[in-house]
Amino acid sequence: MNVMDYIGLANIFEEKEYIIDGERQIYYKKIDYAYGFWHYFSNSGKTFVVLTGKIAGQPINDDSIYRYASFKTLNDLCRENNLVFDYDTFQSMHGYQNFIGDYYTYDSKKNIFSKITDQKLLQKIRGTIKDYDDSILNKDTDISQMYSGIKKTIISQDEQIMQILTSLFKNQKVINSSLDPDTIAKLKENIIVYGPTGTGKTEILKRIANIYTIPIVIEDATSLSEIGYVGRNITDMLENLYLAADKDIEKAQKGILVIDEFDKLAENDKGSKDHVSRIGVQRSLLKLLDGSTFYFDNKKFDTSRLSVVALGAFTGIVDNDDYSNVSSTDFVNYGIMRELMGRFSKLVAMNSLSKKDIKKILIESNFSPLNTYRLLFESMNIEFTYDEGFIDYIAEKAIALNSGARSLKTVFDDTISSAMFRIFAEEYSAINLTRPTDEKGAYILTKKRRLY
C-alpha cells in the first residue's frame, strides 16, 4: 500500500454528555479538522493518529472521547484535484473548515455524523445545559490529572505548570462563589508568565485550553491597537471568548483570556511612532483588568470575573538566563505601565532550558518530533532506532538556534527530510538515526529484502 493511501485529512469531533429533559444524551461537537494517518495497532485495533491541529499527537480509537469522520487519503484528495498536491485546496474542497463548533448526532452502525439543526435542542445544549460542570473544580483529582497530562508534554517546568493551574482553579472557585464583588476582585489572580522563548509558555496554555472545561482563547498582543488606530482592539478579544463559549455570555464572562506576546506592548522609546498606540493598548488592558463593561454586537461583557493570563519572553529584562528574581519594578523599567503591573498579582518565571532539558524534551515529551515520527514509522512497519549521539546533535543544533524546544521540530525535520523521501519510495525497512560526520549523514537506511 502506498503511504498516501493511509495519510489524509479528517474532521475531528469530541464526544460530550448532557442531561436533556432529565435524560442522559451523548452528542458530538466538531472541534477541528486535521491531517493524520490510520493504522492497525495490535493492542487497540484501528487507530487514527492526529498530526496537526488542536489535538496533535492524540490517537483516536474506540476508547477515545474523540472521533474522526469524512477521512480522505492524500491519494483521494489528489485525484479529485487533478492530481495536484495543494493542502489549502484540500481543506476547502469538502468543507473541512466549515461548522467547527456545531453539534452532531452519531450513528455508530453506519458511521455517520448528522448535524443538529433543531433550534430548541441546540438551545438546550448551548444555553440551559452548559458544556461543563462547575462542580468539577471541587475535585482535587481533576487538577492532578490535568497536571500529570500537561507534564507529559511540557518538560522541566513542573513547578510552573502547578502554579498556573492552581491560580486558574482558585479563580474559578472564587468567581463561582457567593462572595461579594469586592472580595472576588481581591482574591482573583491575573497572571504574567514570562521567560526565554521556547520554554513552553504558550504551549502550557494551549494544553490547558484543550482539556479545560472553561472557555479559553489565546490572543496575540501584536495585533492589538488603541481604539482609533488601525488594528484589533480589546472588544475583539472578548468577542472571540464569547464565540468560544458558544455565544453564552455568562459562561464567557467567567472564562480565561490569554494574551500572548504581551512583552511586545512594552514601550521604552518615547519617540517611536507607535508609542501612543502601545500605551493606549496598555490603558485599555488596565480598564479590562479593573473589571469594566465592554460592548460589542449589542452584547454587554462584564470583565470583573474574567481571568487574564499574559505571556511574554521579555528578552533582555535580565542579563543572564535566570528569570527567577525578576520583580514588578523590572517590568516597569522594561516599559509596562506601573498601574498595569499592579493588576497582575501572580508572576510565574519559566525555567531556562539546558542541553540536558532539551534532550529530556526530545526523548520524553509526547510533543517531541522524535515520538511523533516514531508513531509514523510504526504505522509504516519501518523499524526505528537512534543513538545518544543523534540526541546530542539535535539538542546542540536546537540550542544554537536560541529558540528553546520550539526549534526541535525544525531541526529534526531538516535532518531527516532526505531520508523521508527515500522511505516513502517504500524501498527501506529500517532507519537508524545517528550523529552525522563528514563521511556520513544523520541516518542509516536498511533496504527491504526482496523475495524471489
| pLDDT for the residue 389 | 92
The reply to whether 95 falls in a domain is yes
Dihedral sign computed on CA atoms, order 278, 289, 188, 297? negative
Considering only CA atoms, which of 249, 228, 244 is closest in space to residue 295?
249
Which neighbouring-strand residues pair with 10? Answer: 34
CA distance 209 to 215: 8
Last residue of a domain, one of 107, 128, 149: 128
Q: Which of 366, 283, 425, 435 is nearest to 51 (CA)?
A: 366
CA–CA dist 154, 161 (Å, integer): 8
Here the CATH number for the domain that contains residue 310 is: 3.40.50.300
Q: Please, are residues 264 and 312 in contact by the beta-carbon 8 Å criterion?
A: yes
Could you tell me if 321 and 388 lie in one domain? no
Treating both helix axes as pointing N-terminal to C-terminal, what angle do 201-211 and 158-175 enclose, rounded to 10 degrees? 50
Examine the domain organization and report whether 340 and 359 are in the same domain: no
In this structure, the answer to whether residues 324 and 204 fall within a common structural domain is: yes
Q: Give the domain-ending residue among 301, 316, 349.
A: 349
The number of domains in the chain is 3
Residue (of 382, 388, 393, 394) closest to 445 by Cα position: 382
**236 lies in some domain:** yes
pTM for this entry: 0.64
Domain that holds residue 374: 355-447
- CATH, residue 371: 1.10.8.60
Task: Give a yes or no: residue 110 inside a domain.
Answer: yes
Same structural domain, 67 and 208: no
Residue 452 lies in a domain: no
384 assigned to some structural domain: yes
What pLDDT is stored for residue 42 in this prediction? Answer: 56
Which grid coordinates belong to 74? 492524500
Query: 105: Cβ–Cβ under 8 A, 6 or more apart, which residues?
Result: 27, 28, 113, 114, 116
Same domain, 254 and 326: yes
Residues in Cβ contact with 20 at an 8 Å cutoff, skipping those fewer than 6 apart: 121, 124, 125, 129
Please report the pLDDT score of residue 136 as a whole number.
34
Report d(CA 104, CA 222) in Å as an integer: 36
Tell me the mean pLDDT per 10 residues along the chain, length 452. 73 84 83 84 72 84 86 86 74 75 88 87 62 37 75 88 91 88 88 92 83 83 62 82 90 92 78 59 90 89 94 89 86 93 93 89 85 86 90 91 84 88 85 88 81 52
Say yes or no: 116 and 141 in one domain.
no
| Distance linking the first and last C-alpha atoms of the chain | 20
Instruction: State the DSSP H helix or E strand holding residue 349, giving kind and residue range, or none if neither.
Output: strand 346-349
Is 91 contained in some domain?
yes
Query: Is 116 in the same domain as 154?
Result: no
Q: Are 404 and 203 in contact (CB under 8 A)?
A: no
Q: Is residue 44 part of a domain?
A: yes
Q: What is the model's pLDDT at position 336? A: 94
Q: Cβ contacts of residue 353 below 8 Å, gap of 6+?
A: 156, 196, 198, 199, 361, 404, 405
* 294 and 178 fall within a common domain: yes
Rg, Å, the chain Cα set = 24
Provide the pLDDT for residue 388.
Answer: 92
* Residue 179 shares a structural domain with residue 217: yes
Q: Same domain for 200 and 319? A: yes
CB count, 10 Å around CB of 229? Answer: 13
Confidence (pLDDT) at 61: 85
CA distance 432 to 383: 8
Contact residues for 241 (Cβ-Cβ < 8 A; gap 6+): 215, 217, 252, 255, 257, 306
Domain boundary among 304, 334, 349: 349
Residue 320: the pLDDT is 78
Q: What is the reported pLDDT for 337? A: 92
**Residue 169 CA: distances (Å) to CA of 96, 131, 140, 397:** 34, 17, 10, 38
Say yes or no: 142 and 178 in one domain: yes
Residues 260 and 374 occupy one common structural domain:
no
